[in-house]
């Protein structure tokens, strides 16, 4: 067994990015590795949250609606940025204290791309991170500085999706 300590990116327009992060968290937890799961933007009550908790995986998240930047006021945007920055900082601090062997930053790309998260603390963490922490990053369009620091990059490519024929997200499957 090689030590933990690599960086994963799950990206692309296909289904399965968050899903794979949840699966990886479940696998690691099943092997007794402590996992910390941070969910950016998405804050709906979801089945994955219930299951992660059942597996003893702590989940850090903000509050509902943070992703809808189009309809947010300046004050709401500033508040959302504060929440995301604080959540990231809390997670990185926990990782530095050795509290997790796997750190999942779900939809961190979206938070970065929407300008709802300062990437600098993450870049700093990746460049000087403690040994034995595997980092999993998900979301579309990762910035180049993140790609440069990744050991795994998997693109989830949508070849077919029922959205394309008008079937919307279903609870327990997409949400």
Binding-site ranges for a second copy (CB under 8 A): 1-4, 6, 8, 10, 12, 14-16, 18-24, 26-33, 46-52, 54-55, 101-102, 134, 150-162, 167-168, 170-173
**Under DSSP, is residue 64 helix (H, G, I), strand (E, B) or coil?**
coil
Cβ closest to a second copy, residue 19 vs residue 43 = 19
How far is 120 from 124, CA to CA, in rounded Å?
Answer: 6
CB nearer a second copy, residue 10 or residue 125: 10
SS3 state at 107: coil
Min separation Cβ 166 and a second copy, Å: 10
- Our CB check for a second copy shows the closer of 20 and 60 to be 20
**What are the structure tokens assigned to 86, written together?**
């604080």
CA distance 126 to 74: 30
Contact 43, 65 (CB under 8 A): yes
Pairwise CA distance, residues 25 & 43, whole Å: 18
- Minimum CB separation from a second copy for residue 135, in Å? 11
Write down the least CB distance from residue 87 to a second copy, Å: 21
Closest separation in Å from C-beta 145 to a second copy? 15
């Amino acid at each position: 067994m090689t030590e933990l300590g690599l960086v994963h990116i799950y990206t692309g327009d296909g289904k399965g990015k968050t899903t794979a992060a949840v699966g990886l968290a479940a696998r690691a937890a099943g092997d007794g590795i402590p996992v910390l799961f941070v969910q950016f933007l998405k804050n709906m009550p979801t089945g994955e949250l219930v299951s992660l908790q059942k597996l003893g995986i702590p989940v850090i998240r903000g509050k509902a609606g943070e992703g809808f930047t189009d309809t947010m006021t300046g004050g709401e945007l500033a508040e959302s940025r504060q929440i995301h920055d604080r959540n990231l900082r809390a997670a990185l601090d926990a990782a530095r204290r050795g509290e997790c062997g796997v750190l999942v930053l779900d939809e961190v790309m979206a938070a970065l791309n929407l300008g709802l998260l300062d990437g600098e603390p993450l870049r700093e963490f990746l460049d000087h991170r403690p040994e034995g922490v595997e980092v999993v990053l998900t979301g579309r369009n990762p910035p180049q500085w993140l790609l440069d620091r990744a050991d795994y990059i998997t693109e989830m490519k949508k070849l077919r999706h029922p959205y394309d024929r008008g079937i919307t997200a279903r609870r327990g499957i997409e949400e």
